[in-house]
Amino acid sequence: MKTLVLRRLAVLLPTLLLVSMMVFGLQKLLPGDPALALAGEERNPEVVEYLRQKYRFNDPIPVQYGVWLKSVIQGDFGTSVRTRLPIGRMLAEKLPVTIELAILSMLVALLVGLPIGIFAALWRGTFLDYGASLFGLAGLSIPHFWLGIMLILLFSVNLGWLPAGGFVSPSESVGRNLLAMLMPALVLGTGTAAVMMRHVRSAMIQAMKQDYVRTARAKGVREGTIVLRHALPNALIPVVTLGTLQFGELLAGAVLTEQVFSIPGFGKMVVDGVFSRDYAVVQAVVLCTAAVFLLMSLIADVAYALLNPRLRS
Amino acid sequence: MNRIGLALAAFLTIASGLASADAATLRVGIQDDPDALDPALSGTYAGRFVFAALCDKLVDISPDLKIVPQLAEAWDWSADGKSITFTLRKNVTFHDGTSFDAAAVKFNIERMKTMPDSKRKAELAPIQDVEALAADKVKLNLSEPFVPLLANLSDRAGMMVSPKAATEKAGEFAAAPVCAGPYQFVERKSRDLIRVKKYPGYWNAGQIGYDEVVYSYVPDSTVRLSRLRAGDLDLAERIAPTDLKTVRDDANLVLHSGQGLAVSHLMFNVGAGTKADTPLGKNSTLRQAFELSIDRNVINRVAFNGEFLADNQMIPPSSPFYDSAHKAPTRDIAKAKALIAAAGMTRVPIEIQFENTAGDSRVAQIIQSMAAEAGFDVKLLPMETATAIERYMNGNFEAYIGNWSGRADPDPTLVAFFSCAGSQNVNKYCNKDLDAILNQARAEADDAKRKALYVKATDVYLSDLSSIPLHHPNWFFAARKSVAGIVMVPDGLLRLVGVRPVN
Amino acid sequence: MSTIEAEPVALPARRRSRSELRRLLHEPSAVIGGAIILFFAVLAVFASWLAPYDPNAPDWMAIRAAPNAIHWFGTDDLGRDVLSRVVFGTQASLAAGMISVTVAVLIGLPLGLIAGYFGGIVDMVISRLADALLACPFLVLAIALAAFLGPSLENAMIAIGISAVPVFVRVARAETLVVRTEDYIAAARSQGLGHFAILAGQVLPNVLAPTIVQATLTMAIAVLAEASLAFLGLGQLPPLPSWGAMLDVARQFLSEAPWMAFWPGLAIIALVIGFNLIGDGLNSALNPRH
């Protein structure tokens, strides 16, 4: 176990380094001169040239990367070239928003995905099972931004119950914060719930076929006890893994949902960063999400190994 | 369903009750995230919008585009037009308590002229040096007579920042700007909000109605409006033309609209590199045929619900220098076809580039379809903004839908686009006669004579037609009924003096 | 991306044969999915005959008209027939699904084979690269690539394809690792067969099945990704119709013209469901563990 963790941690850093190199290189290849984008409507040539010098846009890409890497190692993510605000602070402000959204979505996914998956497995072949399959398919297939648009249409435009978007800081009002997060969390949660449901269902079906269930049944143990005591704990093992992985994906996967609901989180920050060529911002966000993603998959593997006795040897 | 609705409604009531506890806060929804909050560096409308609260200027413009006093109470041009002396308002202090005086003006103008990444250099270029004659008298010496200077000083170039703060904080100034406006900076949460509070030492503090103003970044127009309707916001800027009906139908809201300075125009590459080598780039008759093939009113109606101002000139009708004699030609397909035939062609190919925004994309598609009827084969090339800007600046386009924010004075717009060395003359149009007229106009202090020169200039640029102006966007702010005292000015900035809450 | 990965299957190629097709036809999900895809394929191929109007012809006098007898799905912001645009939009979405996945398979499959077969440093380099790509948010990668390549449907497809490469590297590598230890590979090697011959003749057939399953499931994701890119203005050039771009425009007219958002969205869902159903069906038919 220890060696597994250590080995995985050892590749974590090189992978992150690779990620940062790739994203950096890709950004530098993008057309569009960031100095021109920064120089205002009049784009005075003197100013443009000064900005190129100041942000080293003229240096060879490896040199620029080196400069960036050095300052990141020293704990400085740099400054947004657009707003001149320190990126470290921007990250600190956005991270809670994104994490809140991820947690709420995960909550939705668990509340919806788990029970449906379990009951679909137990009542296999019934209408509930078919309904669940349909839900699973739909959840996988509905574009998040379309679902978001439709929810806005229903709950904001037609019924007027929920705000159409925007973010309210919980320090301002917890109630309105949750109201504003409700629809985005539903949208993101539905997709995750579908994945969750499908996995829980098949894991549960597998578990119910195992020997220990058969033995318990032969001993005359009540069906409810069998499900709760024997089948469910085993069926939940992949769910833990999946949940961890999905959480990692939620952090970065909310790009369009944040766009539709105007939520100032990571996803929107990185997309706007790409479009405005604020490369240091993109670097920082991608690095953070990649790190979280890799850590989460490490945790998922560890959890799997811990929970699954067959793998422990 | 109903019970959920009731519960939600109750929840909402409680939530909104909590919010309205601090009644003297004005919550404003803005469409873009402002860039650097330093008047020397700022390059966005959103930034200027926030500066209207933070930073007073030497002079201001009135709704009818006249220059009016702000930090300067009076000014006096020298006889030769090569210097101007300002009499400054007394007892004005910056938000850090330091006093505003002639030395501060000198510091600011020199700062904007010398800061390496200052975006104000062009606007202040004619100023040679600044003399502080007395604490309240400052004289600007110009290299040549330059009448539009006052209009330039009514924008960011005329904003005064605290010399002490600017010196001490240097590079970090933009993170917490210190000016002499009605409100002082409190905090900025990136891509979220900017909070300012009333500055008690403001020279006109009696006219300030709100204790605090919060600018929230809400990029989506629909969301901005829905938050306004829900009472999350008190005012939302730039409501989409398609949403105006909603505002007009809502008894709790008031629509504030006004003419703007901006212009959307279709530029043709007439001289920049190989992309200029198109039939339309080489032949002004074909460009006139193109103009005849489109119907500006249809563009306005279809793309903007008819809420903008269809027009054929770079200068908006709100300007005293607008030339009402040059009317937009009506659509005439037969005549357009005849002109194309006269040029010896039947189908004329052209590629139109534009930023992939909703409005421009719609305009481009409408133009494509209308021009096709006359014989123009229009190819559309939408580009994401950063790429579009680069291609625009390098003249890497056959035709481009440009959006210019406009200026209070006609000079910066016309010189930028039509003088041979203009900063926006990226399509490389050059007419020496026009250059001469424009140079004469910027030195002419007499308004009537100046107007006559601009009429002549209009005649030239509309015949050469290196660019076809399409329309002028209007400003639309929506505010809750409880916000009084909003005055619309063509620059589209929300002046907070006089804005106050009512019941 | 990683959530719908097919599990590795290791069965000698020879044991599989005609029976697979029959098994597939007995999978209801595969049949329904196939029917859906067939329906859209017909729409795409015969769009010019099936669509009632020219999808790009505007009507200034009928902008944002509600669904009626003339325009069954209503008209859009420029007065174009939404039904015709949805029909023609099928071409972009289907092409995006198939071509981008083909790109991903063509790059990912050989890399995965090589990594799994040779192991060692080659495997390490390829796997690390794949991991790094996988750790980047999928859509962000696609957005950056699409912005780099410039706006067009073809470039959007390439961008999505490249972003999906690591999934196929992983699938192919995992499968190759299992196959590599089989006796018949050792036998082939002892007969003096070259690496290329073994990879192509012995390993590839085994890797094909899970790759096909993964490819179908990825097509579903690719269709969604194309719509997302178009939604951000990085895809099909106007005025040509694309479901994602239609949704982007529709968002501005939500309260006045909801039909503009409804139909393209429904079309995306149906097509994606089709790909997912086929993927599920293939998975059950080709993967006996399910």
Please judge whether A165 and B404 are an interchain contact, meaning their C-beta atoms are less than 8 angstroms apart.
Answer: no
pLDDT, tens only, A149-172: 888 888 887 787 887 777 777 877
**H or E element at residue B350:** strand B348-355
Confidence (pLDDT) at C275? 93
Token digits of residue A150: 């439709």
Is B176 a residue whose pLDDT tops 60?
yes
Beta-carbon pairs below 8 A across chains A and B? 152
Flag the least confident range among A25-34, B87-96, B118-127: A25-34
**In the CATH scheme, what architecture does the domain C73-281 have?**
Orthogonal Bundle (1.10)
Q: Identify the DSSP state of B85.
A: E
pLDDT more than 70, % of chain C: 92
Q: Judge whether A92 is closer than 8 Å to chain B, CB to CB.
A: no
3-state secondary structure B283-346: CHHHHHHHHHHCCHHHHHHHHHCCCCEECCCCCCCCCCCCCCCCCCCCCCHHHHHHHHHHCCCC
**Which of A27, A36, A81, A171 to probe by mutation at the B interface, max B CB count within 10 Å?**
A36
- Minimum CA–CA partner of B424 in chain A: A42
Q: Judge whether B227 is closer than 8 Å to chain A, CB to CB.
A: yes
Please judge whether C238 and B364 are an interchain contact, meaning their C-beta atoms are less than 8 angstroms apart.
Answer: yes
- Which sign does the torsion angle of CA B432, B435, B437, B439 carry? negative
Token digits of residue A235: 């069926």
Of C140, C258, C261, the CB nearest to A270: C140
* A121, HSE (Cβ side, Cα atoms, 13 Å): 24
User: A46 vs chain B: nearest CA distance in angstroms?
Assistant: 8
CA distance C226 to C232: 10
Segment 107-166 of chain B within 8 Å of chain A by CB: 116-119, 121-123
Please give the residue that has the higher pLDDT: either B380 or B222: B380
Mean pLDDT to the nearest integer, B159-181: 92
Evaluate whether C29 touches C280 at the Cβ level (below 8 Å). Answer: yes
Evaluate whether A262 touches A167 at the Cβ level (below 8 Å). Answer: yes
Segment 245-304 of chain B within 8 Å of chain A by CB: none
pLDDT, tens only, A95-113: 888 889 989 999 999 999 8
CA distances from B119 to A38, B190, B203, C213 (A): 10, 22, 28, 56
Confidence (pLDDT) at B7? 52
3-state secondary structure of B29: strand
Phi, psi of B130 (to 5 degrees): -120, 130
Find where tokens 């015949």 sit.
Answer: B463
Confidence (pLDDT) at C288? 54
Token digits of residue A114: 């788990």
pLDDT, tens only, B416-453: 999 998 889 999 999 999 999 999 999 998 999 999 99
pLDDT more than 90, % of chain B: 77
Interface residue ranges in chain C relative to chain A, Cβ cutoff 8 Å: 2-4, 128-129, 131-133, 135-141, 143-145, 147-148, 150, 220, 224, 227-228, 231-232, 244, 247, 250-251, 254-255, 258, 261-262, 265, 268-269, 272-273, 276-277, 290
pLDDT band at A226 (very low <50, low <70, confident <90, very high): confident
Please give the residue that has the higher pLDDT: either A52 or B102: B102
Of C3, C150, C265, the CB nearest to A146: C265
Q: Judge whether C240 is closer than 8 Å to chain B, CB to CB.
A: no
Confidence (pLDDT) at A99? 87
Subunits adjacent to chain A (3 or more Cβ pairs under 8 Å): B, C
Give the count of beta carbons closer than 10 Å to the beta carbon of residue B91. 9
Closest by CA position to B463, among listed B336, B291, B311: B291
3-state secondary structure of C75: strand
Q: Judge whether C67 is closer than 8 Å to chain B, CB to CB.
A: no
CA distance C210 to C20: 13
Token digits of residue B7: 């519960």
Which residues of chain C are within 8 Å of residue B364 when distances are taken between CB atoms?
A: 238
Please judge whether C137 and A286 are an interchain contact, meaning their C-beta atoms are less than 8 angstroms apart.
Answer: yes
Confidence (pLDDT) at B19? 43
Evaluate whether C128 touches C121 at the Cβ level (below 8 Å). Answer: no
Subunits adjacent to chain B (3 or more Cβ pairs under 8 Å): A, C
CA distance A90 to A79: 9
Q: Which residues contact C136 (CB under 8 A, 6 or more apart)?
A: A19, A22, A23, A286, A290
- Minimum CA–CA partner of B356 in chain C: C233
ipTM given for this complex:
0.84
pLDDT, tens only, B10-65: 544 444 444 444 458 999 999 988 988 999 988 888 999 999 999 999 999 999 89
CA distances from B61 to A257, B7, B64, B188 (A): 41, 50, 8, 28
Mean pLDDT to the nearest integer, B62-71: 93
Q: Identify the DSSP state of B242.
A: G
Which residues of chain B are within 8 Å of residue C60 when distances are taken between CB atoms?
A: 298, 301-302
Find where tokens 């899970």 sit.
Answer: C210
Which residues of chain C are within 8 Å of residue A293 when distances are taken between CB atoms?
A: 135
Question: Does the global pTM surpass 0.90?
Answer: no
Evaluate whether B370 touches B235 at the Cβ level (below 8 Å). Answer: no
- Minimum CA–CA partner of C247 in chain B: B358
Max distance between CA atoms of chain A, in angstroms, equals 87
Domain locations in chain C? Answer: 73-281
**H or E element at residue B75:** strand B72-77
Of A31, A143, A290, the CB nearest to C227: A143
Evaluate whether B113 touches B142 at the Cβ level (below 8 Å). Answer: no
User: A168 vs chain C: nearest CA distance in angstroms?
Assistant: 22
Burial class (CB in 10 A: 0-12, 13-18, 19+), B404: buried
Positions in chain C short of pLDDT 50? 1-15, 289-290
Which residues of chain B are within 8 Å of residue C233 when distances are taken between CB atoms?
A: 356, 361, 382, 384
Of A30, A202, A267, the CB nearest to C148: A30
Confidence (pLDDT) at C160? 93
Which residues of chain A are within 8 Å of residue B119 when distances are taken between CB atoms?
A: 39-40, 42, 44, 47
Closest by CA position to B311, among listed B352, B353, B265, B268: B265
Q: Each residue of B408-418: b (16+ CB within 10 Å) or e? A: bbbbbbbbbbb
Closest by CA position to B491, among listed B389, B405, B387: B405
Which residues of chain C are within 8 Å of residue A31 when distances are taken between CB atoms?
A: 147-148, 150
Confidence (pLDDT) at C103? 95
Flag the least confident range among A280-284, B218-222, B380-384, B390-394: B218-222
Is A312 a residue whose pLDDT tops 70?
no
Which residues of chain A are within 8 Å of residue B191 when distances are taken between CB atoms?
A: 90, 94, 264, 268-269, 272
pLDDT more than 90, % of chain A: 6
Which residues of chain C are within 8 Å of residue A37 when distances are taken between CB atoms?
A: none
Confidence (pLDDT) at C10? 43
Is A43 a residue whose pLDDT tops 80?
no
Is B273 a residue whose pLDDT tops 50?
yes
To the nearest 10°, report the CA torsion of A39, A41, A43, A48. Answer: 10
